[in-house]
Amino acid sequence: MPISRDLLNRFLVLAGLLAVIAVTAFASACAGSRLAAQPGGAPAAVRAAAASVVTLYAERPAAGLVAFDPMAGPAPEPQVTWRWRTASGFAFASGGWIVTNHHAVAGARTIEARMADGRRVTAELHGVDPRRDLAVVRLIGAAPEPLHQARPVSIGERVFALGAPFDLSGSLSAGVVGGFDRAYDGVDPVGYLQHDAALNPGNSGGPLLDGRGRVVGMNTAVAEPAIMDVGVSFAIPAEMVFRVAEQIRLEGTAAPPRLGVTVRSLDPALAGAMELEPGAGLIVDAVEPGSPAAAAGLTSGDVLLSLDGVRLSLPRDLNRTLLDRAAGEDARLVWRSGGARLERDISLDAAPGVEDGGSIAAQADIASGYGLRFEEAGPDTDGARIAHVSPGSPASLAGFRPGDQVLAVNGRQVADGVEAGLRLEEAGPAAAIRVLHQGDTDPRHVGLARAGFGALSAPGQIWPDATGGPY
């Protein structure tokens, strides 16, 4: 029997209502699973840990590019303003020692902290580790009780995030551990802990706690392209946070060892041309003069296969392996050069620019905070050739690479590396740099501020063309 249009419409409306009810019930169940408090609220140890968490205020530069006609004259000075940005941090040692994210305080000229009881005190930057996105500051006139590292956690274990999202100090969210060893991209060496406790701007640097109020990790980011909570949050594992923070506290730095190469992963096209499998090594784009790699005879075009038995497929593999070593140690490197397989013990040295201790000046990126070091350009070239780009620096985030040529800074031509360094030092917190990237035929202007803040990539993504270094 044919169904009338009126009966069909009623059926569709009823089906729609049932679907809405089902979705609502499912969402409520998920929310209840994620947010339901234990009897009496969060565990007492978690609530007590809030006294060791601070809200950090960092006065950091913000630069904007100004549109201009290159035919009308030199580039105008970038417009620079200073803005207060909020982050979180927590005490890891007695005496006012606070650990937070490097990106939360990078380039700051002033840092203040608000305590759990509302007091506001000054904080001094003691040292940083940009590669692992960690920084240590010391409070002046306050010393909250330090938190302690938790035992290893398991998938599905309940965790709690403390911090100051949107400057709401002492905020608490809850979730469960969702995974381990997550990555931002093909370069970042940190294997992040994934969880679904809500994170929003201002949570960076705050602790992720277990039910006993002990630190599981440091909350750092959410997955791209989101900038607010999407249920996928990342934390630096506690073991790395405490180990690196203590090294910075005692030594003023967490200087990574250096091999002295800039590398690129083998995408299918490169691998096929070199008769290798994709991901079977890292091709060397550049070798730093005077580095351990140069002393060992590595040259551009060589393929790194393994370091101390660790197979190298992405730049992050090399980055992570080096960070587990110390300057002065030997590492066994296996590489391919001209069809020959070579193997040699290489003595690692300290990465330049961080070996002089923990003051802000000593920890600043090369070339006055922009992350560039120059060599003199050859007689047939103009400007200053870049010899080194500090990992995680503003220049690195903007795409500068060794071998690029800086031609002018703020509209003033530079003749060599010495002049380029002086111009950047004069430029203050931001500069308009005219640069000729390798492979380009025409130079371009790029605006750099001293403080960099990198974009994230979704976890699990494959990065066949990742480039990183120098390491």
Active-site positions read 103, 133, 204
Distance (Å, rounded) from C-alpha 156 to C-alpha 178?
Answer: 6
Q: At 341, which helix (H) or strand (E)?
A: strand 340-347
Q: Report how far residue 93's alpha carbon sits from residue 250's, in angstroms, rounded to the nearest whole number.
A: 11
Report the C-alpha dihedral over residues 253, 256, 257, 259, rounded to 10 degrees.
-140
Q: Give the three-class secondary structure for 210.
A: coil
Provide the token pair at 364: 């600043």
List 409's β-bridge partners, or say none: 412, 433
Give the Cα-Cα-Cα angle 401, 323, 277 (nearest 5 degrees): 65
Other C-beta atoms closer than 10 Å to the C-beta of 73 total 9
**Is-contact 189 236, C-beta < 8 A?**
no
Dmax (CA) of the chain: 92
Kindly tell me the burial class for residue 91, based on how many C-beta atoms sit within 10 Å of its own C-beta (0-12, 13-18, 19 or more). Answer: buried
CA distance 369 to 227: 26
**Per-residue DSSP letters for 38-104?**
PTTSS-HHHHHHGGGEEEEEEEEEEEE-----GGGSSPPPPEEEEEEEEEEEEEEETTTEEEE-HHH
Distances (CA, A) of 382 to 74, 389, 407, 411, 436: 17, 19, 7, 15, 10
Smallest CA-to-CA distance from 131 within 161, 96, 106, 162 is with 106
255: number of CA atoms within 13 Å, CB side? 23
* Pairing of the two strands 303-307 and 330-337: antiparallel
Rounded to 5 degrees, φ, ψ at 114 are -105, 125
